């Protein structure tokens, strides 16, 4: 079978990866020891066995607990370096990495510690593997817009170390319009804009991410299939969707990978892409997302080329750079 080889070998961009979601249980334990942080699990195996989720919130609870071992700039560097090394072996040529500063500043970690550690790993990835890596700061939507503004203010002295902002965490009950003012401010600063929408939430959240927040890309967006007019809008405006199939399976957005609508999105002409979301928690990095999804749904080599092409089209790299890959 040649398709898995094609999927693994093709150059690709990853546009939806939460760096805290790349923290493997082994590294959680190593950092807990290094920093003398107590964690309520006796072993790596016991921690990994707790990774059984019923929805987004059940995952977020354990994901935030895992991030509590991160304290120093070196911790953030080590976490990002491990992800970037892994991405390089999956033939990722470019990656746009989400990070959640509020998860760390709430524990007393300075935002400079977070951003400087992650950024140094991105600089080194370019040197070591020729892998281009940039950062996108995500606001936690279960917190207030005031809190997001305070985070933006803390981050602005490091403005040259991240390219944009996103919106993540608990979707239901926290619609995009809750963050209208802070996204308008980010837009005026020339930051690139993305938001999670339509993972568990309704198509209305995708509409407001586009029309109120004015985002350039939708993270997940798989619920758009329930709204024909929205599908037309996404296709016409070539709004990329950063789809994460293994995440959707593990968080029960789809009962089974075979039920995933990635093929339907592509066949409707949408700029859908494949991404890993939180690979340490969902059982696979980007190539595993490609191979398992193709095996389960019967997508073809033509879909593979389209997805690789879409990943560069949907990225924030310069147009001149994109032509190198496309
Ligand atoms: N959805 C929302 N917030 C998140 C996710 C996700 O899939 N992963 C990490 N934070
Ligand atoms: Zn996500």
The residue ranges of every structural domain in the chain are 3-23+75-315
Please, which residues have CB within 8 angstroms of residue 227's CB and are 6 or more apart in sequence?
203, 206
C-beta of 22 in contact with ligand 1 (< 6 A) = no
C-beta of 247 in contact with ligand 1 (< 6 A) = yes
CA 33, 37, 41, 43: dihedral to nearest 10 degrees?
0
Phi and psi at residue 150, in whole multiples of 5°?
-65, -40
According to the annotation, is 278 in a ligand binding site? Answer: yes
CA 171 to ligand 1: nearest atom: 2
Q: What is the DSSP string of 106-137?
A: TTT--HHHHHHHHHHHHHHHHHHH--EEEEEE
What pLDDT, on a 0 to 100 scale, did the predictor assign at position 325?
74
C-beta of 248 in contact with ligand 1 (< 6 A) = no
Is-contact 98 86, C-beta < 8 A? no
Residues 238, 101: Cα–Cα separation, whole Å: 30
What pLDDT, on a 0 to 100 scale, did the predictor assign at position 1?
64
According to the annotation, is 196 in a ligand binding site? Answer: yes
| Paired residues of 55 in beta bridges | none
| Mutate which of 206, 277, 281 for ligand 1 pocket (most atoms within 8 A of beta carbon) | 277
- Strand 241-243: give its sheet, edge to edge: 12-18, 92-99, 132-140, 164-168, 192-197, 217-220, 241-243, 272-274
Ligand nearest to the CA of 139: 1
Taking alpha carbons only, the member of 295, 325, 319 closest to residue 7 is 295
CATH class of 3-23+75-315: alpha beta
Residues 298, 287: Cα–Cα separation, whole Å: 16
What are the CA-CA distances from residue 105 to residues 16, 87, 102, 215, 310 (Å)?
Answer: 22, 27, 5, 25, 35
What pLDDT, on a 0 to 100 scale, did the predictor assign at position 322?
74
According to the annotation, is 168 in a ligand binding site? Answer: no
| CB-side neighbour CA atoms (13 Å) of 103 | 29
- Marked catalytic residue, from 24, 96, 171, 199: 199
Mean per-residue pLDDT pooled into runs of 10, the chain (326 residues):
94 98 98 96 95 96 96 98 98 98 98 98 98 98 98 98 98 98 98 98 98 98 98 98 98 98 98 98 98 98 98 90 72
Beta strands 217-220; 192-197: pairing state: parallel
C-beta of 288 in contact with ligand 1 (< 6 A) = no
Kindly give the distance from the C-alpha atom of residue 272 to the centroid of ligand 2, in angstroms, as a whole number. 15
Helices (H), the chain: 3-9, 25-35, 44-49, 56-66, 73-89, 101-105, 111-129, 145-155, 180-188, 203-211, 228-236, 245-250, 262-267, 279-282, 286-297, 301-313, 319-325
C-beta of 56 in contact with ligand 1 (< 6 A) = yes
Kindly give the distance from the C-alpha atom of residue 193 to the centroid of ligand 2, in angstroms, as a whole number. 14
| Mutate which of 67, 102, 168, 170 for ligand 1 pocket (most atoms within 8 A of beta carbon) | 168
Residues 256, 109: Cα–Cα separation, whole Å: 39
């Amino acid at each position: 079978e040649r398709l898995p080889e094609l999927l693994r070998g093709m150059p690709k961009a990853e546009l939806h990866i939460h760096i805290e979601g790349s923290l493997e249980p082994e590294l959680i334990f190593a950092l807990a020891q290094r920093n003398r942080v107590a964690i309520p699990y006796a072993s790596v195996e016991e921690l990994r066995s707790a990774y059984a989720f019923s929805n987004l919130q059940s995952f977020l609870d354990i994901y935030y607990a895992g991030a509590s071992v991160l304290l120093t700039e070196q911790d953030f560097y080590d976490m990002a370096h491990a992800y970037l090394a892994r991405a390089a072996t999956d033939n990722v040529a470019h990656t746009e990495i989400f990070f959640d500063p509020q998860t760390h500043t709430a524990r007393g970690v300075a935002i400079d510690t977070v951003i400087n550690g992650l950024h140094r790993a991105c600089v080194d990835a370019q040197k070591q593997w020729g892998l281009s890596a940039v950062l996108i700061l995500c606001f936690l939507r279960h917190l207030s817009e005031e809190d997001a503004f305070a985070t933006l203010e803390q981050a602005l002295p490091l403005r040259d170390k991240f390219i944009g902002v996103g919106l993540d965490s608990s979707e239901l009950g926290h619609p995009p319009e809750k963050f209208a003012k802070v996204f308008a401010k980010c837009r005026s600063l020339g930051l690139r804009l993305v938001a999670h929408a339509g993972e568990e939430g309704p198509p209305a959240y995708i509409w407001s991410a586009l029309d109120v927040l004015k985002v350039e890309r939708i993270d997940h967006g798989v619920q758009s299939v329930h709204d024909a007019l929205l599908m037309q809008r996404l296709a016409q405006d070539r709004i990329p969707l950063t789809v994460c199939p293994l995440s959707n399976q593990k968080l029960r957005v789809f009962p089974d990978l075979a039920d995933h609508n990635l093929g339907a999105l592509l066949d409707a002409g949408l700029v859908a892409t494949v991404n890993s979301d939180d690979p340490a928690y969902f059982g696979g990095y980007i190539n595993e997302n490609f191979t398992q999804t193709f095996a389960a749904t019967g997508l073809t080599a033509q879909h593979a080329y389209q997805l690789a092409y879409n990943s560069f089209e949907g990225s924030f790299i310069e147009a001149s750079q994109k032509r190198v890959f496309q």
